[in-house]
């Protein structure tokens, strides 16, 4: 719609910036004002096409934009000022980089003539954010402003998505500038490969149907490819009937109740998923990156399998695990080609093709590694999440989490049927991610149920955002699994450091109910198992944001667990299991 007629449109840099955002389809930005970004805030005041959400801390702005992006597939946009504004955003940017979330972060900067002068609120933002962004820019000439911003959006959303920072000196925001529209900008660099090599796909199709012990291992790349890729994964699994496991980032790519779903794999993955990974003969990795949480001991990772790796990022391939067939491609287009090729082949149904393997897997399944005993009045954290799932499974629900035990329990006991419903900090493991992320999800889906499954320690890290929830009337539900410990730290100290619980107890916790009320929100508390269902019901019925203090068993551990440095077959299944397995000396140094 923008034609050449408008290429000579002049306006202030700040107005041009907003116009770029409009043209890029931005509806919401998350930000916090300050001196060096005031001209943009001034333009924002005069425009009403873009909604601005005022957060209470810049880290939360980025997490909120991540929640927004991950639940919609759109680019999340962040607006912060120079110096502390930008440095506060660094954790969020790193988080988005690790989890491949498309973010454009606009940061104010001191005017160009003051750069390098240690000016007030000056920080070398491009220097600081270089290793924690996919790419970043410092705009020093107003002629380059528009094309740089358009390129920033292109880089953020294309290929493997990621965060992009555009640092905007105040004089550039105030300067006069000629608007350049999206399609009028000169040329394009950064063109990632998105379609697979066909001959390799044919090879993969043959391998899959001839395998005796195949497994599909899917990751966040499927989610990032868009909802269609998840539909294709389901189609693939239904077609070839191959057992499938998903990473933490991939949950939702295949419905949790699919017959061939093995559950999550990795450090706290299921027994059946991890043993299938170890014993398989053909492994098809789609959009996952052989992360250390997944592989455990690399030397003993799936030693007898032919490995196929489909990834959009060439640097993910052969990084830690050498693979036999590398395919650089978007997950969706690779899946489409693969299904197309498979349909040309003749193969028997799974019972006749891989019956022995399926029987073996059923045997592993029968261990019921996620079983727990809810006895007595004290709420087991697993039970709390299971109940939450049972009560919300028939409504469209979006789940975010913080980081720690509650996150792993959420991954294990909450079942996802669709992609983009699960927002968790996987790569960076950022405590404090869940609440602001839920905020962003709720902005994108105002009518939907959005729940932050939280831990009391993580919650405290970004609890200032309760104020944002109040201001924008965002009915986010915070479901705090409160065990009064930094549970995962305590668990490692118990299992690995001889029970020396060094600084992992969260003393002096607030009364969460009154805390919520002091922000003008609703607070609920469940102290015993009889109150749990009522609290969940009340929480769901409320039109307000609700803070639920679910007081759970204090020293429950998260199982199954592959201790650091151990192999897939070396899992701890429960508290009884830990006696004879010691963490190796090498494992001790791992995180």
Cα–Cα distances in Å, from 552 out to 129, 399, 527? 39, 20, 8
Cβ(345)–Cβ(206) below 8 Å: yes
Decide: is 140 part of the binding site for other proteins (CB under 8 A).
yes
Cβ 86 to other proteins, closest distance in Å?
A: 15
Question: Which of 303, 322, 376, 520 is in the footprint of other proteins by CB under 8 A?
Answer: 322
Q: Which stretch binds other proteins (CB under 8 A): 23-31, 185-193, 251-259, 378-386?
A: 185-193
Question: Is 74 annotated as catalytic?
Answer: no
Question: Which of 189, 343, 344, 543 is in the footprint of other proteins by CB under 8 A?
Answer: 189
Q: Find residue 526's DSSP bridge partners.
A: 550
State the catalytic residue, choosing from 283, 463, 488, 561: 488
* Size of interface with other proteins, in residues (CB under 8 A): 27
State the catalytic residue, choosing from 22, 51, 120, 141: 120
Residues 299 and 278: their CA atoms lie apart, in Å, by: 11
State the catalytic residue, choosing from 23, 24, 58, 551: 58
Tokens encoding 264: 């999550």
Decide: is 319 part of the binding site for other proteins (CB under 8 A).
yes
Question: Which of 48, 199, 315, 375 is in the footprint of other proteins by CB under 8 A?
Answer: 315
Decide: is 182 part of the binding site for other proteins (CB under 8 A).
no
Question: Is 45 annotated as catalytic?
Answer: no
Decide: is 344 part of the binding site for other proteins (CB under 8 A).
no
Cβ(78)–Cβ(96) below 8 Å: no
Decide: is 186 part of the binding site for other proteins (CB under 8 A).
yes
Which residues fall within 8 angstroms of residue 214, CB to CB, at 6 or more apart?
208, 240, 242, 243, 280, 281, 282, 283, 284, 354, 357
Handedness of CA 423, 428, 434, 436 (dihedral sign): negative
Question: Would you call 151 exposed, middle or buried from its count of C-beta atoms within 10 A (0-12, 13-18, 19+)?
Answer: buried
Instruction: State which residue, 288 or 450, has the beta carbon closest to other proteins.
Output: 288
Decide: is 299 part of the binding site for other proteins (CB under 8 A).
no
Question: Is 488 annotated as catalytic?
Answer: yes
Question: Is 260 annotated as catalytic?
Answer: no
Continuous segment of H or E residues that includes residue 550:
strand 546-551
Instruction: State which residue, 158 or 374, has the beta carbon closest to other proteins.
Output: 158
Decide: is 314 part of the binding site for other proteins (CB under 8 A).
yes
Cβ 300 to other proteins, closest distance in Å?
A: 17
Instruction: State which residue, 147 or 382, has the beta carbon closest to other proteins.
Output: 147
Q: Which stretch binds other proteins (CB under 8 A): 171-179, 186-194, 195-203, 499-507?
A: 186-194
Cα–Cα distances in Å, from 258 out to 80, 203, 263, 387, 525? 43, 26, 10, 20, 35
Cα–Cα distances in Å, from 473 out to 53, 217, 519? 12, 40, 12
Decide: is 197 part of the binding site for other proteins (CB under 8 A).
no
Question: Is 170 annotated as catalytic?
Answer: yes
Tokens encoding 431: 């405590």
Closest CA to 50 of 82, 23, 72, 71: 23
Decide: is 303 part of the binding site for other proteins (CB under 8 A).
no
Instruction: State which residue, 25 or 127, has the beta carbon closest to other proteins.
Output: 127
Residue 395: cis peptide before it, omega within 30 degrees of 0: no
Cβ 45 to other proteins, closest distance in Å?
A: 31
Cβ 91 to other proteins, closest distance in Å?
A: 17
Instruction: State which residue, 275 or 327, has the beta carbon closest to other proteins.
Output: 327
What b/e string do you get for 2-29 counting C-beta neighbours within 10 Å, with b at 16 or more?
eeeeeeeeeebbbbbbbbbbebbebebb
Which residues fall within 8 angstroms of residue 465, CB to CB, at 6 or more apart?
55, 56, 57, 60, 64, 435, 436, 439
Cβ 58 to other proteins, closest distance in Å?
A: 22
Question: Which of 60, 138, 275, 358 is in the footprint of other proteins by CB under 8 A?
Answer: 138
Residues 536 and 505: their CA atoms lie apart, in Å, by: 27
State the catalytic residue, choosing from 11, 121, 300, 471: 121
Give the 3-state secondary structure of residue 472: coil
State the catalytic residue, choosing from 170, 336, 380, 477: 170
Near other proteins in 74-133, by CB under 8 A = 126-127, 130-131
Q: Which stretch binds other proteins (CB under 8 A): 81-89, 105-113, 147-155, 333-341?
A: 147-155
Question: What residues are labeled active site?
Answer: 58, 120-121, 170, 488
Binding region for other proteins (CB under 8 A): 126-127, 130-131, 134-136, 138, 140, 147-148, 151, 155, 185-191, 313-315, 317-319, 322
């Amino acid at each position: 719609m923008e034609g050449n007629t408008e290429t000579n449109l002049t306006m202030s840099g700040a107005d041009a910036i907003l116009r770029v955002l409009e043209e890029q389809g931005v509806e919401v930005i998350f930000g916090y004002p300050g001196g060096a970004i005031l001209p943009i805030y001034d333009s924002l005041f005069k425009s009403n096409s873009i909604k601005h959400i005022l957060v209470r801390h810049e880290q939360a702005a980025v997490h909120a934009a991540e929640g927004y992006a991950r639940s919609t597939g759109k680019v999340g946009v962040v607006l912060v000022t120079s110096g502390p504004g930008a440095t506060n955003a660094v954790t969020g940017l790193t988080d988005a980089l690790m989890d491949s979330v498309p973010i454009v972060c606009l940061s104010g900067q001191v005017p160009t003539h003051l750069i390098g002068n240690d000016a007030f609120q000056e920080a070398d933002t491009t220097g600081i954010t270089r290793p924690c962004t996919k790419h970043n820019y410092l705009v020093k000439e107003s002629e380059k402003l528009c094309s740089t911003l358009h390129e920033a959006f292109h880089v953020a959303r294309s290929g493997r998505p990621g965060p992009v920072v555009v640092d905007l000196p105040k004089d550039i925001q105030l300067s006069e500038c000629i608007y350049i529209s999206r399609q009028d900008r000169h040329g394009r660099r950064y063109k990632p490969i998105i379609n697979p090599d066909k001959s390799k796909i044919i090879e993969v199709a043959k391998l899959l149907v001839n395998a005796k012990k195949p497994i599909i291992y899917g990751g966040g790349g499927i989610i990032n490819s868009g909802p269609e890729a998840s539909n294709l994964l389901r189609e693939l699994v239904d077609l070839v009937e191959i057992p499938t496991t998903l990473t933490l980032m991939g949950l939702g790519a295949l419905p949790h109740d699919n017959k061939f779903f093995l559950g999550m794999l990795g450090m706290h993955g299921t027994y059946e998923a991890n043993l299938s990974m170890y014993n398989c003969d053909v492994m098809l990795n789609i959009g996952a990156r052989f992360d250390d949480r997944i592989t455990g001991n690399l030397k003993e990772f799936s030693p007898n399998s032919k490995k196929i790796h489909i990834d959009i990022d060439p640097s993910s391939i052969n990084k830690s695990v050498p693979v036999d067939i590398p395919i650089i491609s978007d997950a969706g287009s690779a899946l489409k080609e693969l299904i197309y090729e498979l349909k040309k082949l003749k193969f028997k149904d799974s019972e006749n093709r891989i019956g022995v393997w399926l029987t073996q897997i059923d045997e592993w399944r029968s261990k019921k590694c996620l079983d727990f005993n809810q006895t007595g009045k004290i709420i087991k954290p697993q039970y709390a999440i299971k109940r939450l799932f049972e009560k919300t499974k028939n409504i469209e629900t979006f789940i975010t989490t913080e980081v720690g035990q509650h996150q792993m329990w959420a991954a294990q006991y909450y079942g996802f049927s669709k992609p983009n419903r699960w927002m968790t900090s996987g790569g960076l493991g950022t405590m404090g991610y869940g609440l602001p992320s839920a905020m962003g999800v709720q902005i994108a889906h105002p009518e939907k149920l959005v729940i932050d499954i939280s831990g009391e320690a993580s919650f405290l890290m970004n609890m200032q955002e309760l104020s944002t929830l109040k201001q924008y009337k965002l009915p986010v539900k915070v479901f705090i699994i409160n065990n009064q410990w930094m549970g995962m730290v305590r668990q490692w100290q118990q299992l690995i450091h001889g029970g020396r619980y060094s600084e992992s107890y969260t003393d002096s916790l607030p009364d969460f109910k009154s805390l919520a009320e002091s922000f003008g929100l609703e607070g609920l508390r469940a102290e015993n198992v009889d109150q749990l269902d009522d609290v969940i019901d009340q929480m769901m019925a409320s039109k307000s944001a609700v803070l639920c203090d679910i007081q759970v068993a204090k020293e429950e551990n998260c199982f199954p667990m592959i201790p650091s440095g151990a192999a897939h077959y070396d899992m701890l299944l429960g508290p009884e299991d830990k006696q004879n397995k010691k963490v190796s000396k090498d494992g001790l140094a791992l995180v």
